[in-house]
Amino acid sequence: MEKTLIIFKPDALEKHLVGTVLARFENTGFRIAACRMFRFTPELLKEHYAHIAHQPFYPPLEQFMSSAPVIAMALEGDNAVAKVREMLGPTDSRKAAKGTIRGDFGTDNRVNILHASDSPENGLVEVARFFRPEDVF
Contact 81, 120 (CB under 8 A): yes
> Nearest approach, Cβ of 110 to ligand ADP (angstroms)?
4
Q: Which is nearer to ligand ADP, 2 or 92 (CB)?
A: 92
| From 16, 48, 51, 115, the catalytic residue | 115
Contact 51, 10 (CB under 8 A): no
> Nearest approach, Cβ of 89 to ligand ADP (angstroms)?
9
> Nearest approach, Cβ of 132 to ligand ADP (angstroms)?
24
Beta strands in 14-62 (DSSP E): 31-38
Q: Determine whether 16 is an active site residue.
A: no
CA geometry: angle at 43 spanning 37 and 45, to 5°?
Answer: 55
> Residues with catalytic annotation?
115
